[in-house]
Chains A and B, each alone.
Chain A
Amino acid sequence: MVVLFGLFLLTLLVITALGIVNADNLFAAVMLMGIFSLQMAAIFFVLDAADVALTEAAVGAGVATMLLLGALALTKDKEKRRRRRRWPAIVIVTVTTLMMIYATFDMPRLGDPQAPVHQHVAPWYLSETPKVIDIPNVVTAILASFRGYDTLGEVFVIFTAGVGVMFILANGSGNGRRTMVPSADSTGLRHHLVPRVVGRLLVPFIVLFGLYVQFHGEYGPGGGFQAGALISAGLILYALVEGEKEALRAIPLSVLVGMIAFGAFLFGAVGVVGMLFGGNFLDYSVLLSNPVAGQHLGIMLVELGVGITVTGVLLTIFHTIAARRKDH
């Protein structure tokens, strides 16, 4: 059954990818990329990777599509067509494809317990997580505690991305800031009654679901990254239906910038506090007298930091793009 689903979804994925390559209307390409992400999320879910599926659906299909549409509102929506055949490109793609197909012959069967990936460190994580950390979601245990360094690095990558977008796009935004939500004026969709009413109804529930994903990440699929994407998707919806100005009145840009820095700071600070208590950097066991409770506290704080930074960065990117004027 899994194989059948996988084949079906992968075929759809290939068709969608060909559609993206062939589309010369960039608007259609962006929508197809959203569909691509949704199919990717479905494939991850079929393969039992619920955490990744949630991220892909929230970021790839939701927020990224929104940001690309916002960027598209600033440029033309037709691709510049080059009719020239690019033989080197075709040769490289063909050779790479053949090599990858050849490599698949050596791959273990899907779900094979003897596969190297299931023999290396995975058994150790599975047997140690209940003893050392005692939370049901092993993915969160690995992400936040066992491999906390990697996650700290990811948070700094997102932090850098947010700062970079602000540096490149937010020129002269200090005075005379003009607001332009894509495809609408500064009043948003106020004059479109149906999307406005439904949007207002849904925003609190989306944010609530984001908070659930944030604080339930130790027990079910989820965590800071997914929660950040969900909460910012809800707040972007608010900005779309109520207008850019209202959204910035609810959460000003200065608060968002503060959130970007604070989340990354919180993550690092938890690590440093662990050092002050006599443990290693990002060792949560020393935070409380009971090591397991210390791990719980550390994971919660670290995930909170991730969520705050992701929310701040995504919303800042949205507002920065929305505030750009269209170049003529």
Chain B
Amino acid sequence: MQIALDIASWTLLIAGGAFVFTGGLGALRMPDFYTRMHAASLTDSLGTILVLFGIALQAGVSLAALKLITITLFLLLTSPTAAYALANAARLSGVNPEHVVATNEQR
């Protein structure tokens, strides 16, 4: 039972770490603002939440696990909202996706 829990939690932790890494890489390497932001929002939502679930499994049935799940719920609400607000603000201030602009001008 303990081994199964450990395997599950480590799988979640490593998957979360992989998503955080991908997000960081994407934020550095993607071509324009929106794709970079898309990559960065991955870090916030998927990466952090997987890591938090992994830690919660390590904590077992306890107050710490409850707190971690509460934090996860909070992040599930706030980080997509922040990503939305950021993209919306960028669009309102006239930042355009690079390649879409080109195709629009061709039409």
Q: Give the B-binding residues of A (Cβ under 8 A).
A: 183, 192, 194-195, 198-199, 201-202
Contact = CB atoms under 8 A, between A and B. Distances in A.
A174 to B, nearest CB: 34
Contact of B84 (A183, A195, A201): A195
Indicate the size class of the contact surface on chain B: under 10
B84 A202 contact: no
A195 B82 CA distance: 8
Nearest to A183: B89
Contacts of A199: 81
Interface of B: 74, 77-78, 81, 84-85, 88-89
Given A192-B85, A202-B74, A202-B77, 8 more contacts: A194-B81, A194-B85, A195-B84, A195-B85, A198-B77, A199-B81, A201-B77, A202-B78
Contacts of B81: 194-195, 198-199
B38 to A, nearest CB: 16
Contacts of A192: 85, 88
17 contacts: A183-B89, A192-B85, A192-B88, A194-B81, A194-B84, A194-B85, A195-B81, A195-B84, A195-B85, A198-B77, A198-B78, A198-B81, A199-B81, A201-B77, A202-B74, A202-B77, A202-B78
7 closest cross-chain pairs (CB), A and B: A198-B81, A194-B84, A195-B85, A198-B77, A195-B81, A194-B81, A192-B88
B39 to A, nearest CB: 18
